[in-house]
Amino acid sequence: MNNPILSAWTSAFEIAPFDKISDTDFAPALDAAMQAHNAEIGAIASNPEAPTFANTVEALEAAGEMMDKVLSVFFTVAGADSNPLREELQREFSPKLAAHFSGISSNKALFQRVADLWARKDELGLTDEQARVLMLSHRGFVRAGAALEGNEDTRMQEIKARLASLGTSFTQNLLADERDWFMELSEDDLQGLPGFVVNSARAAGEEKGAKGPVVTLSRSLIVPFLQFSPRRDLRQKAYRAWTARGANGGETDNREIAAQILQLRQERAKLLGYESFADFKLETEMARTPDRVRDLLMQVWEPAKTRANADAEILTQMMRNDGVNGPLEAWDWRYYAEKRRKAEHDLDEAALKPYLQLDRMIEASFACANRLFGLEFKQLDIPLYHPDCRAWEVTRNGQHIAVFIGDYFARGSKRSGAWCSAMRGQAKFPKVQAPVVINVCNFAKGDPALLSYDDARTLFHEFGHALHQMLSNVTYESISGTSVARDFVELPSQLYEHWLEVPEVLAEFATHAETGAPMPQEMLKKVLKAANFDQGFQTVEYVASALVDLAFHEGAAPDEPMARQAEVLADLGMPAAIGMRHATPHFAHVFAGDGYSAGYYSYMWSEVMDADAFAAFEEAGGAFDSERAKALEENILSTGGSREAEELYLAFRGRLPGVEALLKGRGLIAA
């Protein structure tokens, strides 16, 4: 066979031979890999010998090596450097892959072997890690419905298929509503808008074929419009359209779809033996139960609401000074908050930028990893999939740890956002393999390339995920690196952002691109303070959405989700001038798919932990305290999913996280 994806990778560190792979190699490689994987799975399932950990669970771990190679190369280039052929392949692959993996998770003979081992787990003489892998494998099968028989099995398949199609309709309706609405602006209506908003309004107008500039419902245009437009009537009109997405009646209305989705999820959870869908979803998370989620959210809610109500009074007074009577409305908040931000902490982004050079910020992220964990980085010259990519060998005490790849610049072929993925995960079985980890960002190119403060945080964030992969030290790949609960996976990344804020880090690495001078102290203070601005509003709009998501999935599914939403908000005493960050008819996190259903809370859960975990360093003697760094690596960064997240955190911190550090960090209580 001479398909370079499937042939042995003989380059340094066994990196994929990107210079030899062409797009026409992907489809045949995927077909061959799926066939090979099916043969491996078939052999495990039909093995005439009695099941053992080695011939079943370890055999499953070892299976799919070809799949891993094809998928890691394909999804790397499809996300970071796409083209029409790669897009077409992605559309072709995604249903194929869904069917392939669902075929494995519903393979009854395979499940029988795993269930047999599970029933005898205490007699098998397993290590802790092996017992954990067996538990996760068994639980995965059961949660996918592999243990159901007869009518229940049939009904589960129906529910899954129906949920998939309802999720797609929800997304398409939302897109249709977002696409169809726009508001034309006259030249007069542009007054008060900054240049970048005017430019995007003109570009949007051209795209819509309008006569002039327009406001659309895209977050990147409507939010700045609400922040800057002095025209209260236009803000009201735009805000109402924005919050009506998915609830406009007719063909694209999502309210009935949301109700059906909630009913089906509830039925699915019952079939699997759970009290509610929230119980089903949270079983695998660190939070574990709906009560613990609510308890945490409510601890944040009260101080956030108090702050928001106090802020509302200040904003109302500013509105009075403009001669506007009546209550502060949801379309007024962002406008007056922006005026207040300017008055209180005017941070000049243009003056800040020259201090944040991409190359120096990369050095800063490496230097912190060196001081904390002793990692060293040496640039490599190897062929990658795009000339903008760079690679480093990561070592410690001369020993190879990982290869780290950075692909930092925005380009048309890259999807938006920033992410970290392992092109190869760490494992010691069936053979020792060192990780190959990639960070992909969308920073503007320049000479030198300069970052905004948000960009620099993103760089540290993604590098935190990379450390979680690179420092992983477990036996089985299925639990290595970032293979942890969803409400735990953002801990290493959000935690690493804190090192960017350490004054000595910025003093050393935030140097002016032309003069080389360090960032002035005054500017540094402003940067850090501006990050806390309007947190009452932001916390309230987020937590309200998280609590509605939780209420929807607890107990019996509501017949009328909109009425349930109103009830939850009334019970909370939702401030009148703040809307939910995502209301039900356009709450895509919860209804477009299953990813964040009964899980929207997890951003806040992780943030509570990262604030609390960084406080552990500060309490111990500073951001670079070596004992704390050692404990962080030993208990969190190297352990993957080998133990329950809560156990890992307890081992690191000696207690569970409290909300105090988060409330201080967001400026909701006094520091």
Contacts to Zn ion by CB under 5 A: 493
The least CB distance from residue 493 to Zn ion, in Å, is 4
Count the alpha carbons within 13 Å of 213 in the hemisphere toward its beta carbon: 20
The tokens of 62 are what?
Answer: 């070892």
- How far is Cα 470 from Cα 374, in angstroms, rounded to an integer? 13
Pick between residue 294 and residue 468 the one whose CB is nearest to Zn ion.
468
Helix (H, G, I), strand (E, B) or coil at 64: coil
The least CB distance from residue 505 to Zn ion, in Å, is 20
Decide if 450 contacts 357 (C-beta within 8 A). Answer: yes
The tokens of 605 are what?
Answer: 């859960």
Pick between residue 189 and residue 285 the one whose CB is nearest to Zn ion.
285
CA 567 to centroid of chain Cα atoms: 29
Pick between residue 558 and residue 657 the one whose CB is nearest to Zn ion.
657
The least CB distance from residue 492 to Zn ion, in Å, is 9
Pick between residue 118 and residue 460 the one whose CB is nearest to Zn ion.
460
Radius of gyration of the CA atoms of the chain, in A = 26
Pick between residue 493 and residue 511 the one whose CB is nearest to Zn ion.
493
Cα distances (Å, whole numbers) of residue 573 to 302, 309, 325, 568: 10, 11, 23, 9
DSSP per position, 586-605: G-HHHHTSSTTTTTTTHHHH
Closest-CB residue for Zn ion?
493
Q: Is residue 146 classed exposed, middle or buried when 0-12, 13-18 and 19+ CB atoms within 10 A define those classes?
A: buried
The least CB distance from residue 471 to Zn ion, in Å, is 16
Tell me which residue has tokens 């190699």: 25
The least CB distance from residue 404 to Zn ion, in Å, is 16
The least CB distance from residue 460 to Zn ion, in Å, is 11
- How far is Cα 468 from Cα 78, in angstroms, rounded to an integer? 24
The two beta strands, 436-443 and 399-409, are parallel
- How far is Cα 51 from Cα 171, in angstroms, rounded to an integer? 43
The least CB distance from residue 602 to Zn ion, in Å, is 11
- How far is Cα 232 from Cα 237, in angstroms, rounded to an integer? 9
Question: In degrees rounded to 5, what are phi and psi of residue 428?
Answer: -120, -5
Pick between residue 472 and residue 493 the one whose CB is nearest to Zn ion.
493
Pick between residue 113 and residue 468 the one whose CB is nearest to Zn ion.
468
462 catalytic residue (yes or no): yes
61, 393, 462, 633: which one is catalytic? 462
- How far is Cα 63 from Cα 50, in angstroms, rounded to an integer? 19
| Residues annotated as part of the active site | 462
